[in-house]
Amino acid sequence: MVSALGMTAVLGGCGITGGSADVTLELVAADYGDSAANSSRKYWDKLVEEYEADHPGVRIDVSVYSWNDVDRKVREMVAAGDPPDMAQMGAYADYVAQNQLYKADDLLSIPVQADFVGQLASAGQVKGVQYGMPFASSTRVLFYNKALFDKAGITPPETWDELADAAEALKGEGVKYPYALPLGPEEAQAETMQWMLSGGGGYTDSVDSYGIDSPENIDTFSWLKNELVGKDLTGPVPPGELNRADAFAAFAKGEVGMVNGHPSLMKIAAKKGVEYGMVPMPGQEGTSKATLGVADWMTAFRKNGNRDQVGDFLDFVYSEKNVLAFSREYDLLPVTTSASATMAASDRDRHLRPFLEELPASELYPVGKTSWADVSAQVKQQIGKAVAPGGSPSGVLGHLQATAVRAESAE
């Protein structure tokens, strides 16, 4: 399982505890590390130690779980009637529907809440009220293999037609995956939304209703089917069977000419010595006007009370220093405007600038809908059929739209 950001984590649960205190706050957190050396346990251990030193009446008890386990663990705790005070996870809307969560403005000081990046704060809202506090964010850009592009004598594409032409040239040079199109069940909802946005569509319309089978989306997937998949420009694995992790691994082997990626691909490619470039996602007539933004969320449960202590601790968590430390440790984008401005101006963070520059024009999944989990799961299972031989983009998107409408009406 991966986080909303697409990051895979491998470590199991662990506890971080302080000494005796008047109030103990329990936090369930997700692990963003890929080994014991960079486990999120170390980040929280340092942060908690610093906080408790200045707040002797408060103890923070943190349990860190892999992304395979964290959402399930929180569900089990809630079902047992013993939710944590805080949980950092991939979704929140179900708990809002159950009236389990504090509103962000019941917890955070005004300066801290106002510091959230606008798109991320909006994505944390249900019916105009913020419950989900963004904890980590990322955007997507188009990665390309510089050596393969040089060999084919091509430049990075800015339009769909240029992307198709580049893919043809790469195919002519024997590149295994001219454009890797991972629509497999691991993270198909991300690649799907990236392409929908580049075609002027998206999962929802201007009034936040599902619009999966919009004319723009049908045109986008018809183009993918006819101009990339149908011309054998997406590699030997059918897109509906190609997962993101496998596409990234193939890129790191030098087998992929182009693939949409998030910051973790930089490390994966660099480890294998692949020289890569990054450009904004191409659109129909120029660079895409919007790109995919993703976020994971901090939430606070009402069951145990402790509102003031939870709010004070979260104010500390979202200080510029701590947000920057987390973002830099895991090559993620800051969720606050103050930390974003610092990162944009810092030479040490220049490798993240292509992603940071995309954030103002990013759009996020409709995570404020409790129906989104079901819709996302269906997209992962079905969307590959839209570009398969004999597949019908309009038919598959129409089926997904009907599924979404049913899920939404069942809320």
87 contact partners, CB below 8 Å, separation of at least 6: 27, 28, 29, 70, 74, 298, 299, 301
pLDDT at 293: 93
Instruction: Give per-residue pLDDT as tens, 107-131.
Output: 999 999 999 999 999 999 998 999 9
Rounded-to-integer distance, Cα 353 and Cα 359, Å: 10
| Residue ranges, the chain, pLDDT below 50 | 1, 8-20
Whole-number pLDDT of residue 67 = 81
Identify the CA nearest to 26 among candidates 305, 276, 218: 305
- For CA atoms 268, 271, 272, 274, the dihedral sign is positive
Q: Look at the chain and count its residues.
A: 411
Q: Could you tell me the CA-to-CA distances from 175 to 138, 148, 189, 256, 308 in Å, in that order? A: 29, 8, 26, 7, 58
CB 62 within 8 A of CB 15: yes
pLDDT in tens, 295-338: 999 999 999 999 999 999 999 999 999 999 999 999 999 999 99
Record the tokens describing residue 218, joined without a space: 């049908």
3-state secondary structure of 350: helix
Using a cut of 0.95, tell me whether the model's pTM lies above it: no
Q: 109 burial class (0-12, 13-18, 19+ CB within 10 angstroms)? A: middle
